[in-house]
């Protein structure tokens, strides 16, 4: 179990503030972070009836499933992604973007994975838009989750402060934005609260419902700072990799990683 009750030292707080202020560009080995997912497999539900569709789980061996979870979002970005509609393999993706609107350059040397900018998009017919159906804007959330779940055997499992990434797109894209809007005037940022999450179904899609838990402490502890460092490194490594591929596709000089996220807004804003 991860301890989230011991406050970070002043040195750790200073380092966290530096990460919040400037995100760096430095590509080394890719940091792996498990995905928080929603159970969509009807065959699994038929085989194991207590694992209903719409439940959350962390992808990996022997996952625990739950209808209600808590998540604390530490960083969040938006990203254009293009995946094959046949095998769902990644074709192209843009850099991870903050809310200040930097150019969404992508791996193949373009912008937004080829999708036109909004002022052009709004004038497109349905037929014109259809050719970009595999290009979607995704909200990429990095945070920690806790919940009481159950595994395939029906055994109860406690998940406590597990680092995850959670991607929201389509009908789910706007949900977190509404949470951020509701936090305005409360004196708290997104990183300062836990979110209560469950799902409801609309058509074939499970929509995440968010509730704000103002009572459970969400302290900036030593373990949270350490987790934030991992999230920051993962984001900057992914962006640097995408930028190198972008410039290579254009035949430009290889992009050199920088020491910080110059030209990007702070990670603090990403978690606001």
| Domain residue limits, the chain | 10-270
pLDDT in tens, 198-234: 999 999 999 999 999 999 999 989 889 888 888 888 8
Percent pLDDT > 90 in the chain is: 62
Using the Cα atoms of residue 225, residue 16, residue 175 and residue 105 in order, give the sign of their dihedral: negative
Is the pLDDT at 12 greater than 50? The verdict is yes
d(CA 195, CA 130): 35
- pLDDT band (50, 70, 90) for residue 67: very high
Is the pLDDT at 104 greater than 80? The verdict is yes
Q: What is the pLDDT of residue 85?
A: 81
pTM of this structure: 0.81
Q: Please state the rounded mean pLDDT for residues 43-71.
A: 95
Which residue in the block uniquely carries the two structure tokens 């850099």? 95
CATH code for the structural domain at 10-270: 3.90.198
Give buried/exposed letters for 56-79 (b at 16+ CB in 10 A, else e).
bbbeeeebbbbeebbbbbbbbbbb
Q: What is the pLDDT of residue 101?
A: 67
Q: What is the pLDDT of residue 23?
A: 52
Give how far Cα 175 sits from Cα of 4, 163, 170, Å: 26, 20, 10
pLDDT in tens, 252-267: 866 656 444 433 334 4
Mean pLDDT over the full length of the chain: 85
CA–CA–CA angle 35, 65, 90 (5° rounding):
25
């Amino acid at each position: 179990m991860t301890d989230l009750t011991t406050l970070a030292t002043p040195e750790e707080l200073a380092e966290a503030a530096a990460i919040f202020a400037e995100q760096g560009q430095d590509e080394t080995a890719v940091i792996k972070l498990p995905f928080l997912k929603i159970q969509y497999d009807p065959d699994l539900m038929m085989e194991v009836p207590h694992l209903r569709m719409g439940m959350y789980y962390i992808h990996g061996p022997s996952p625990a499933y739950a209808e209600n979870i808590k998540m604390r979002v530490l960083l969040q970005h938006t990203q254009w992604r293009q995946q094959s509609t046949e095998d769902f393999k990644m074709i192209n993706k843009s850099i991870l973007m903050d809310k200040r609107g930097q150019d969404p350059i992508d791996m193949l040397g373009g912008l937004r994975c080829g999708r036109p900018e909004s002022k052009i998009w709004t004038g497109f017919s349905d037929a014109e838009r259809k050719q970009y159906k595999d290009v979607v804007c995704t909200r990429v959330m990095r945070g920690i989750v806790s919940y009481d779940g159950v595994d395939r055997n029906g055994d109860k499992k406690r998940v406590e402060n597990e680092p995850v990434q959670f991607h929201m797109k389509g009908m789910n894209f706007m949900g977190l934005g509404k949470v951020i809007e509701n936090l305005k005037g409360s004196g708290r940022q997104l990183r300062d609260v836990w979110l209560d999450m469950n799902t409801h179904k609309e058509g074939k899609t499970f929509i995440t419902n968010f509730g704000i838990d103002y009572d459970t402490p969400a302290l900036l502890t030593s373990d949270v700072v350490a987790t934030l460092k991992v999230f920051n490194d993962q984001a900057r490594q992914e962006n640097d990799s995408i930028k190198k591929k972008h410039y290579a596709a254009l035949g430009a000089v290889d992009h050199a990683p920088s020491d910080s996220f110059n030209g990007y807004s702070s990670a603090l804003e990403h978690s606001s």
